[in-house]
Amino acid sequence: MIPWGPIFKIGVPIALLIGLWLGARHVIANIRADERETVTAEFADTQQKREIADLRQALATERRQNDITEEANAKQSADLASANSRLAAYVARLRASGGGVGQGADLPRVPDAAGVAGGADRLSLLDADLRKCTAIAVRLGNAKDWAEKQKEVER
């Protein structure tokens, strides 16, 4: 016959201890899962906040760059108008002095182009060339200033 009394006296406490141990592990695993979910949610929130901050910074930088571009365009228009008015005054002084293009010791001669007959046409050619050069110089200066300001914004 099997002595059930001692087996119950030893087996029941061992079974209870194993049950308690498994139950404790289950509770601890649930607590860890909850903590893991909390940490994961906090990390996701932090990451989203950083992304939003980065996007806001990028938007602010783009707006500043657009403002700089608009200011540079306005400045270029004003500078070009000013340079053209100074150029027109210079050409008017040349015309008033008798069309002295290529005459005298101070100015080099402008070669005769095909179909260009007199000094007035030479002044027109000189005026057109000077306007092109002036526009290029103003645009280059404006582009240089614009690029420097853009670099400052990017820093």
Per-residue model confidence (pLDDT) at position 71: 93
Q: Are residues 94 and 127 in the same domain?
A: yes
Q: Which amino acid is at 77?
A: S
Whether 18 maps to a domain, the answer reads no
* Domain count across the chain: 2
Q: What is the DSSP string of 94-132?
A: HHHTT--TT-TTTSPPPPPPTT--SHHHHHHHHHHHHHH
Residues whose CB falls within 8 Å of the CB of residue 125, separated by 6 or more in sequence, listed in order: 110, 113, 116
Per-residue model confidence (pLDDT) at position 38: 92
Per-residue model confidence (pLDDT) at position 108: 53
Q: Are residues 80 and 45 in the same domain?
A: no
Whether 12 maps to a domain, the answer reads no
Q: Are residues 127 and 60 in the same domain?
A: no
Q: Are residues 87 and 133 in the same domain?
A: yes
Token pair of 83 as six digits: 């340079």
CA 36 – CA 131 distance, rounded (Å): 71
CA 127 – CA 94 distance, rounded (Å): 10
Determine the 3-state secondary structure of 1 from DSSP.
Answer: coil
Token pair of 42 as six digits: 């906090």
The alpha carbon of 8 is separated from its chain's Cα centroid by a whole number of angstroms, namely 79
Whether 36 maps to a domain, the answer reads yes
Q: Are residues 87 and 50 in the same domain?
A: no
Q: Are residues 60 and 77 in the same domain?
A: no
Domain encompassing residue 51:
24-64
Question: Minimal CA–CA distance to 96: which of 133, 132, 123, 68?
Answer: 123
Q: What is the pLDDT along the chain (155 residues), one digit of tens a residue?
A: 778 788 888 888 899 999 999 999 999 999 999 999 999 999 999 999 999 999 999 999 999 999 999 999 999 999 999 999 999 898 888 888 865 555 544 545 555 555 555 445 677 888 889 999 999 999 999 999 999 998 888 87
Q: Are residues 46 and 92 in the same domain?
A: no
